[in-house]
Homo-oligomer: A and B are copies of this chain.
Amino acid sequence: MARRSDHSREELQEMALTAAETLLDEQGGAALSTRKVAAAIGYSVGALYLIFKNLDDLCWQINARTLRGLMNALDQQVDAPTPRARLKGYASAYLSYAQQWSHRWALLFDHSASEGDEAPEWLQATIAELFTRIEADLAELHPEETPEDITLAARTLWSSVHGITQLKLRDKLFFGGESAAQQMTDSLIDRYLDGWTPSDASVGGVTK
């Protein structure tokens, strides 16, 4: 039996999360089980339930760390000279982060699908922070637009980057080499921004 207070609550939690991430990275999300995580840190199954509400809770905490890592990666792009370059940098960082941590990234999105309880509000907040970055750059390019239109544009553009990332990771729908996805986000951003003329935004009707 593990000695009481061999490790503090925080240490134990950290150990468990790290072990779970290793398991995830090496064997994928399907291999993530309470018993395996418990074994990896040298505790019994029951002990995990003193630290985490359940497996879902553990997954959410992994997702929190994943998301934080993503934000860090994005932050390194903040020095790019122009809004356009910054947006491309974000997209590129997003893409490579997702590829580097493919299993963690998959967990982040597959897990939100499990319809038990809501996504915790910190997740919402972190994502809002990401969108704020995008919106800032878009607003700089289009100061004449209303905040609502900027928001809509940010979500449109970023959903698109997300879609490219997701399909890139999942399969061989993609021909071409390593750079295909990168090329796609670049051209997407270029064309979207070039096609964004003030006239067509505010109404929303089909005018073409």
Contacts and interface: CB of A to CB of B under 8 A. Distances in A.
Interface of A: 28-30, 84, 88, 106, 109-110, 112-115, 119, 124, 127, 151-153, 155-156, 159-168, 170-176, 180, 183-184, 186-188, 190-197, 200-201, 204, 206, 208
8 contacts: A119-B171, A152-B187, A159-B168, A163-B163, A191-B195, A191-B200, A193-B195, A195-B196
A88 B205 CA distance: 13
A187 B200 contact: yes
Given A180-B152, A195-B194, A115 B159 contact: no
A191 to B, nearest CB: 4
Contact of A161 (B112, B163, B197): B163
B184 A28 contact: no
A155 B174 contact: yes
B194 A188 contact: no
The count of identical subunits is: 2
A109 to B, nearest CB: 7
Task: Name A's interface SS.
Answer: helix
A153 to B, nearest CB: 7
Contacts of A151: 175
Contact of A196 (B113, B186, B191, B200): B191
Nearest to A160: B160
A60 to B, nearest CB: 14
B200 A197 contact: no
A113 B119 contact: no
A24 to B, nearest CB: 13
A140 to B, nearest CB: 15
Nearest to A194: B195
Given A124-B172, A156-B164, 11 more contacts: A30-B115, A109-B170, A110-B113, A112-B171, A153-B187, A155-B173, A163-B164, A186-B204, A190-B200, A190-B208, A194-B196
